[in-house]
Amino acid sequence: PLFLNQLQKDLEEVKELLTNATRKRVRDVLVAEKQKLELEIKNQPLPKPKDVAEEEKASLGGYTVKINNYGWDQSDKFVKIYISLNGVQKLPTENVQVNFTERSFDLLVKNLNGKNYTMTFNNLLKPISVEGSSRKIKTDMVLVMCKKKREEKWDCLTQVEKESKEKEKAAYDTADPSEGLMNILKKMYAEGDDEMKRTINKAWVESREKQYKGDIPMDI
C-alpha cells in the first residue's frame, strides 16, 4: 500500500539522519521519531495476497457503508465493542469477518440487505492479544471481543481519544479557576443551540450587573 511505502521511506531517511547527527538534542528527536514510525508501520494492516483481495472485492459488490456508531464496555480481560446491525444473525457466519492486530481491528460484514458494512479501529489505547480476540454474532448485533494483553482499566478505546481528552482537560485546568469556567462556557456557547446561547448571554449580563453594583462604594 502507498501509505505503508511512505512510512518506510520516512523511516529510512530518519535512520540516515541519525547516522550523521552529533548533537544529543537532535539525536533524541530523531530517535523518538524513529520509534513512532516503527510503531506506525507495525500497526499497519498486512496486505492481502492479490488473488484473495481481488476475489474478496468481486464477492463484495453492492454499496459499502462505513459504520460510525457503536457502544463499548470492558471487563478485566476484554474490551467489548457492540455494533448494531439489523438482521446480521441471518447471514452466513463467514460473511462477518474481523481482522485483529496488536493495536487495531477491522470489521467487514458482507451482503447484509444488499450492502456491505465496514468499521476500522486503529491505534487502540493498549495492546491486545490477536489469538485471544474474537467476534460474536447476536440478534441485530455484532460483538467484537478484544482480549487485553494486561488486565488493566482502559480510559478510552483509542490513542486519539486519549490525546483529545488530555487537550480538553489542559484547556480547563488553568491556574485561574474563573478562566477554566470561562473556557467551559465558551465551549457550551459555541456548541449550543439558540436557547443555550440566550441562557448563557442572560447569565453573563446578570453577573456583570451584580459585579457592577458590588463595586459601587456604599457611602456615595
143 with 169, same domain: the answer is no
Same domain for 178 and 135, yes or no, is no
Same domain, yes or no: 138 and 74: yes
Per-residue pLDDT for 108 more than 90? yes
What single-letter amino acid sits at 136? K
139 and 120 co-located in one domain: yes
C-alpha cell at 18: 541519525
Express each pLDDT in 80-93 by its tens digit.
999 999 999 999 99
The domain in which residue 37 lies consists of 1-43
Q: Which of 11, 9, 145 is nearest to 74 (CA)?
A: 145
Q: How many structural domains compose the chain?
A: 3
Q: Cell triple for residue 26?
A: 537532535
Residue 77 lies in a domain: yes
1 occurs within a structural domain = yes
Beta bridge partners, 79, equal 74, 146
Q: Distance between CA atoms of 44 and 129, rounded to whole angstroms?
A: 16
Q: Which residue has the higher pLDDT, 40 or 119?
A: 119
In a domain, 51, yes or no: no
Distance of CA 8 to the CA centre of its chain: 23
pLDDT in tens, 127-154: 999 999 999 999 999 999 999 999 999 9
34-83 confidence digits (pLDDT tens): 888 888 888 877 665 555 555 555 455 568 899 988 999 999 999 999 99
